[in-house]
Amino acid sequence: MVKRVLVTGSSRGIGKAVALKLASSGYDIAVHCRGGREAAEQVKDEIQAMGREAVVLQFDVADRQAAKDIIEADMEANGVYFGVVCNAGITRDNAFPAMTDDEWDSVIHTNLDGLYNVLKPIIMPLVRARKGGRIVTMSSISGLAGNRGQANYSATKAAITGVTKTLALELGKRGITVNCVAPGVIETDMIDDVFEKEIKAMIPLRRFGKAEEVANLVDFLVSDGAAYITRQVISVNGGML
């Protein structure tokens, strides 16, 4: 039976590249978006054109009930996931003294609560399926090193590494690996290139990364070849750290 993987935030950017790469490796995919339904449907069409199954799930990861209801309905209709890539995330940057309550709260609710809201309904069915599994979370160089203007974001991205390591400990004996990918600066909608020159100067490889270069690592972590890798935080950052 073909293994299914849910990729949150796969309507565009890194998540889209991950969904397409995993589909090309032979997985069926649950594509996911919040508002970008049309883009998500296009990703679904591309996956189906590769001969793989795909569905689109649409919910705000910060909405616990919606996440539970929609994920449970999808698992009921199409089967339990073998893997989940928790990729959906946002930034709301501001220097800490100027940061608004809403900027703080929305990033915590989306990036951190969103991880809990997605994983909670998935993990027990994954354990009960007794077939092992793969969980990949998405941190950031900002979570490892901090970054000016990103106190909210870096808090969530550091927390995600902690959740990852704890779940790896809890789920290891079930053959479920849990790893975290920490990208540097990747060319997507999230990046504004105001300081492009200055940022590139801090990157030993002297360029931004491509979403596909993050997807290659996620694809490997989901593969059988990565069965003995768990509890790791792996960077894709051109040598920035």
Provide the annotated active-site residues.
153
**What SS3 state is found at 214?**
helix
Q: How many chain residues interact with ligand NDP (CB under 6 A)?
A: 29
Beta carbons within 10 angstroms of residue 146's beta carbon:
14
Is 88 a residue that touches ligand NDP (CB under 6 A)?
yes
Count of residues in the chain? 241
Please give the Cα distance from 82 to 3 (Å, whole number). 6
Q: Give the residue, chosen from 7, 9, 152, 221, that forms a contact with ligand NDP under the rule CB under 6 A.
A: 9
The angle subtended at Cα 238 by Cα 176 and Cα 46, nearest 5°, is: 60
Q: What is the token pair recorded at 96?
A: 């800490």
Contact between 13 and ligand NDP per CB under 6 A: yes
CB 54 within 8 A of CB 44: yes
Q: Does 89 bind ligand NDP (CB under 6 A)?
A: yes
Query: What residues from 16 to 35 belong to the interface with ligand NDP (CB under 6 A)?
Result: 33-35
Of residues 127 and 160, the one with the C-beta less far from ligand NDP: 160
Among the listed residues 6, 19, 28, 36, the single contact to ligand NDP using CB under 6 A: 36
- Tell me which residues touch ligand NDP (CB under 6 A): 9-15, 33-36, 39, 60-62, 87-90, 110, 138, 140, 183, 185-186, 188-191
